[in-house]
């Protein structure tokens, strides 16, 4: 049975996972970073705690922490259930079991929920959505986008992807996107057309191997300058 998400799910990973998904070096972590589609990841909370300069943008930030928690509670079982039925699409090494996956994700999302209200006051969590972001040109050094573009190939068109990547390039000097796979761990059919499109517009585009692999074969990111 294939994994099928009828909408884009609230879900959250940790700073440790972001560092590995995006090959983030200590120098990278000192740059002015935009996390696009960070949702309920604890990346912003944890990086802020260690002195980083990070803004996250996501449509879900129009809601309160309690409302976001309700959305997580509503979708948690569906994600865990579909992952369980498709265990062969994942590598159960770093994360050893479905139960551990649930614990790790909930722990990251709890950190996010605890940080959210304070982070909104500090403008670290900004409501907004691709393909139009509420930021000025080159406001950021580095934009990261994890588990949104490519992953939701079934939900988001090629045109949306192209516009969104152009928009990320408008607001940031460098853009990194992870993974290049769709929800069923197949390479997104958009990967090659997008790489060709960006190269034709003289963008410097590289697919780079990273140290993170949970979806089988999901161990590369796209870096665009
Ligand atoms: C699967 S979650 C990934 C969260 C986080 N990046 C991570 O890897 O843990 C996808 C997120 O994308 C957000 N999202 C959906 N549509 C979006 C859009 N058009 N622009 C920016 N974010 C969007 C959702 O609200 C959700 O929080």
- Ligand 1 neighbour 58 (Cβ under 6 A): yes
Q: Are strands 220-224 and 172-178 parallel, antiparallel or unpaired?
A: antiparallel
Is residue 7 in some structural domain?
Answer: no
Is residue 10 in some structural domain?
Answer: no
Model pLDDT, residue 6: 72
Q: What is the pLDDT of residues 102-122, one digit of tens each?
A: 999 999 999 999 999 999 999
Is residue 140 in some structural domain?
Answer: yes
* Contact (CB, 8 A) for 201 and 152: no
Task: Give CA torsion, residues 141, 169, 167, 151, to 10 deg.
Answer: -90
- Give the number of the atom of ligand 1 that is nearest the alpha carbon of residue 160: 19
With residue 53 as reference, give the H or E element that holds it.
strand 53-57
- Ligand 1 neighbour 11 (Cβ under 6 A): yes
CA atoms within 13 A on the CB side of 141: 11
Secondary structure class of 92 (helix, strand, coil): coil
| DSSP track, 6-23 | SSPPP----HHHHHHHTT
Distance CA(18)–CA(42), nearest Å, equals 10
Distance CA(148)–CA(183), nearest Å, equals 10
In sequence order, what are the residues at sequence separation of 6 or more whose Cβ sits closer than 8 angstroms to the Cβ of residue 36?
A: 56, 57, 58, 130, 133, 143, 144, 145, 148, 168
- Give the number of the atom of ligand 1 that is nearest the alpha carbon of residue 145: 6
- Ligand 1 neighbour 111 (Cβ under 6 A): no
Domain count, the chain: 1
Domain membership of residue 217 as a residue range: 15-224
- Among protein residues, the one with the nearest Cα to ligand 1's atom 11 is 37
Is residue 80 in some structural domain?
Answer: yes
Is residue 74 in some structural domain?
Answer: yes
Is residue 187 in some structural domain?
Answer: yes
Q: List per-residue pLDDT tens for the chain, 225 residues long.
A: 788 777 787 889 999 999 999 999 999 999 999 999 999 999 999 999 999 999 999 999 999 999 999 999 988 998 998 899 999 999 999 999 999 999 999 999 999 999 999 999 999 999 999 999 999 999 999 999 999 999 999 999 999 999 999 999 999 999 999 999 999 999 999 999 999 999 999 999 999 999 999 999 999 999 999
Model pLDDT, residue 2: 86
State in Å: Cα 152 to ligand 1 middle.
10
- Ligand 1 neighbour 130 (Cβ under 6 A): yes
Distance CA(140)–CA(151), nearest Å, equals 24
Structure tokens at 49: 């705690």
* Contact (CB, 8 A) for 214 and 119: no
- Ligand 1 neighbour 129 (Cβ under 6 A): yes
State in Å: Cα 93 to ligand 1 middle.
25
* Contact (CB, 8 A) for 42 and 72: no
Is residue 56 in some structural domain?
Answer: yes
- Ligand 1 neighbour 60 (Cβ under 6 A): yes
Q: What is the pLDDT of residues 6-46, one digit of tens each?
A: 778 788 999 999 999 999 999 999 999 999 999 999 999 99
State in Å: Cα 153 to ligand 1 middle.
13
- Give the number of the atom of ligand 1 that is nearest the alpha carbon of residue 18: 8
In sequence order, what are the residues at sequence separation of 6 or more whose Cβ sits closer than 8 angstroms to the Cβ of residue 111?
A: 14, 42, 45, 46
- Ligand 1 neighbour 179 (Cβ under 6 A): no
Is residue 77 in some structural domain?
Answer: yes
Whichever domain contains 72, its CATH number is 3.40.50.150
């Amino acid at each position: 049975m294939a994994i099928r998400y009828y909408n884009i799910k609230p879900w959250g990973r940790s700073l440790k996972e972001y560092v590995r998904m995006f090959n983030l070096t200590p120098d990278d972590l000192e740059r002015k970073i935009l996390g696009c589609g960070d949702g309920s990841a604890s990346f912003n909370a944890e990086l802020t705690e260690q002195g980083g300069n990070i803004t996250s943008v996501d449509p879900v930030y129009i809601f309160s922490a309690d409302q976001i928690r309700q959305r997580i509670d509503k979708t948690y079982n569906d994600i865990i259930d579909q992952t369980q039925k498709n265990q062969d699409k994942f590598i159960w090494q770093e994360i050893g079991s479905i139960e551990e996956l649930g614990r790790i994700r909930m722990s990251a999302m709890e950190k996010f929920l605890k940080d959210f209200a304070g982070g909104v006051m500090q403008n670290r969590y900004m409501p907004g959505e691709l393909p139009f972001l509420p930021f000025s040109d080159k406001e950021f050094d580095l934009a990261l986008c994890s588990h949104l573009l490519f992953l939701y190939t079934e939900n988001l068109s090629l045109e949306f992807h192209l516009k969104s990547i152009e928009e990320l390039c408008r607001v940031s000097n460098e853009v990194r996107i992870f993974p290049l796979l769709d929800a069923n761990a197949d390479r997104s059919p958009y990967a090659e057309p997008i790489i060709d499109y960006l190269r034709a517009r003289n963008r410097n585009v590289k697919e780079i191997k990273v140290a993170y692999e949970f979806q089988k074969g999901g161990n590369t990111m796209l870096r665009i300058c």
